[in-house]
Copies of this chain bind each other. A is one copy, B any other.
């Protein structure tokens, strides 16, 4: 299950602890019925707004305290957001139910994403402020889905989950496992066989798909701000779609129906998961999750593998 960093700090919020905890409580309330009905769940939270805030604090205090690099800020958000989600899940499901594991996610050192930053982090800026931040701090800044300007950082493809064995062990022991938070701490292999941390923010939907594949999950839940995927978004023909085959989803993606930075990565992550043998990917809101997971086909957007006959024809 993937939950966005924007679900923890919403677009109109600045990132106070009170807001994050209240949002986490809402996520826990939607998760608890699934836990009670027997689902074993690994949760991957995002960290875009929070890691961006940490980056601003590093810069602002750099005359007093050595700023930590981006990979360390990702690690910090795993501690903070993982801890908050654990407390809110435990409040509803019992102390010791949820655990948060600091997780490293392997990437390729020569992933082209390192030269083409795309992942938005931190707050929204106006055009003028964005231009001066780009000049002063060397940030890459883009317009984000029409909502304002945001800093973007490299977002390489997740290749493997370093702590996968421990995650499986904890799931098997009955825990709700918070893992690969913020997409994980990106690492690449060094010549001596060690792990070198990389300055990047891996997309949490892609990390969740990689994790779901690695643990051979039946389902991948991609929780977002809308109840279902919309087709022809922003046009008079805008409509929700509740069931898609992988082939249909692939076609809509190719048509540009799903914008990068919002629904695009979710549909792509869902397709990766189904390609790797997943049974079902669900894109829906936290509020609709329990109903959609239970199989209500009029709720959320369910993406399923193509029929065998169709796959063999492609």
Contacts and interface: CB of A to CB of B under 8 A. Distances in A.
Categorize the interface residue count of chain A. 35 or more
A29 to B, nearest CB: 12
Interface stretch (A61-69, A135-143, A266-274): A61-69
Contact of A79 (B66, B78, B95, B187): B78
Contacts of A190: 91
Interface in A173-212: 173, 175, 178, 185, 187, 190, 192-197
Contacts of A68: 17, 80
Contacts of A78: 79, 83, 102
A99 B166 contact: yes
| Most chain B CB neighbours (cut-off 10 Å) among A61, A79, A178, A194 | A79
A16 B66 contact: yes
Contacts of A260: none
| Most chain B CB neighbours (cut-off 10 Å) among A170, A175, A196 | A170
A102 B84 CA distance: 10
Nearest to A177: B166
Contacts of A175: 166
B65 A163 contact: no
Contacts of A57: 57-58, 60-61, 64-65
Interface in A24-67: 53-54, 56-61, 64-66
B101 A101 contact: yes
B170 A166 contact: yes
Contacts of A164: 96
A159 B194 CA distance: 37
Contacts of A173: 165-166, 169
